Chain A
Amino acid sequence: MRRMLIAALALIGVFVALYLTLYKMGVIGHLACGLGGCERVNTSKWAIFAGAPVAAWGVAFYTTTFVVALIGTSPSWIDRREIAYVLAGMSFVGVAFTAWLTYLELFVIEAICKYCVTSAVIVTAIFIVSIADVAMGNRLQSGE
């Protein structure tokens, strides 16, 4: 159930990141953004990381998380604790990276992108659920 939740959250994250990536690639001419500085954030120099748009990294991250969580829901993997550790590790990296991006938005670029905030909420939720997955797995194992 927890991994299903993670998979669902990651799939939502894929679409949020995909939207920003399509903008970055020029497929979408503008960002629909009622308030905040979506374009200011996404046209800033920090919108590129290691040669690729940050949003594209987001698509890769959420897609990987989705696939791992989906595998983790299959009957043969559902009891495997490695999946829980991988998801917790990946989402920790995601949360740390997002924290850095949010810091840049607030204090360096001084503009907030609501899609980035949405992504931050999703990755934080994935992290919390994955920690719960690890904790429950530990409890079950110690109970055995």
Chain B
Amino acid sequence: MANNNPPRNAKSAAAKPSSNRGAFYGILVAIVIVGIAAILYLKASPPSADSGASAQAAYAALQRDYAKAGPPRPYVMGDSTAPVVIEEFADFECPVCGSYATVTEPDVRRMIIDTHLAYYKYYDFPLPMHHNTQSASNAAACAADQGKFWEMHDQLFAGQDAWGLNPDGATQVTDNPKSVFMGYAKAIGLNTSDFEQCYDSKKEQARVNANAAEGFRRNVNQTPTFFINGKMFAGSIPYDVMKKAVDDAAAAKKSAPAAAPATTPAGTSAVNPAAKPAAPK
């Protein structure tokens, strides 16, 4: 605009637009490249803290990157030399897990675990639609830090109505489950200041993630899901079914004592806890 009034002859008029056009197309290409790069970069960046959909985001991220999670550290109960291993993948906020934990599991503990028939392992598998379940797993992991995982586990499942889903199955009873969990921590005799410090810092989040990642490795897609010496049972199962599966697994092991428990035909580790690589980092 503020040039030296160049003569408007045909030559300069023709030359300028073509150089303009070259720069214009260059800019458009640059915008496309930057646009694609920006979307890929934003896709890879970590989710913002405590957004409404953070549970969903955490689940999606874990589902995508489960191979990168460290080895699982499940919570265990019973005799580790028992012939059968029961593994449970559960979500503290899932109502079916709650009814299993409060109705069936006491019998399982009394008649299967305490009698040395099986060793029990619990893995977190927090589902994306349950907004407080990550916090519950966090609370349980922090209780485990003080050696009281199972006490917290029982409190969480028995108290689902106080911090979990509303009867509509979609919304949560509270946006602030921490106050409820602090009450549980006190009730089971935890050092509440240590518990709170652990809970707030989410220092056990890696453990929760690693446990959930193990579920993805084994194709768990609902809760609860059980593995009894490696055999998958998706969904809640009544005591009788579990007892029979434990007895069958024990009998199978007895008849083939040299074989590794629950060797899968493909030899994959997908459903065989015994064949897990030690530390797939």
Report A's interface with B, CB cutoff 8 A. Answer: 1, 4, 7-8, 11-12, 14-15, 18-19, 22, 28-34, 37-40, 43, 73, 75
Partner among A11, A29, A37, A38 whose Cβ is within 8 Å of the Cβ of B32: A11
Q: Is the CB of A15 within 8 A of B53?
A: no
Neighbouring A residues of B51 by C-beta, 8 Å: 30-31, 33, 37-40
Q: Is the CB of A39 within 8 A of B53?
A: yes
A interface: dominant SS? helix
Which 8 A-B residue pairs are closest in the complex by CB-CB distance? A29-B60, A15-B35, A30-B57, A30-B47, A32-B42, A32-B45, A39-B53, A39-B51
Query: What's the Cα separation between A33 and B54 when bound, in Å?
Result: 12
Neighbouring B residues of A15 by C-beta, 8 Å: 31, 35-36, 38-39
Neighbouring A residues of B53 by C-beta, 8 Å: 30, 39, 43
Of chain B, the residue at the smallest CB distance from A27 is B43
Given that A4-B20, A11-B31, A38-B51 are known contacts, is A29 also in contact with B39, CB under 8 Å in the complex?
no
Interface size of B in residues (CB-CB distance below 8 Å): 26
For residue B68, give the distance in angstroms from its CB to the closest CB of chain A. 15
Partner among B20, B39, B52 whose Cβ is within 8 Å of the Cβ of A19: B39
Q: Within 8 Å of chain A (Cβ to Cβ): is B255?
A: no
Q: Is the CB of B31 within 8 A of A39?
A: no
Q: Within 8 Å of chain A (Cβ to Cβ): is B48?
A: yes
Neighbouring B residues of A31 by C-beta, 8 Å: 42, 48, 51
Query: What's the Cα separation between A8 and B25 when bound, in Å?
Result: 9
Neighbouring B residues of A30 by C-beta, 8 Å: 47-48, 51, 53-54, 56-57, 60-61
Q: What 1/0 flags go to B199-210 for Cβ under 8 Å of A?
A: 000000000000
Q: Within 8 Å of chain A (Cβ to Cβ): is B11?
A: no
Q: Is the CB of A29 within 8 A of B56?
A: yes
Neighbouring A residues of B20 by C-beta, 8 Å: 1, 4
Of chain B, the residue at the smallest CB distance from A40 is B52
For residue A41, give the distance in angstroms from its CB to the closest CB of chain B. 10
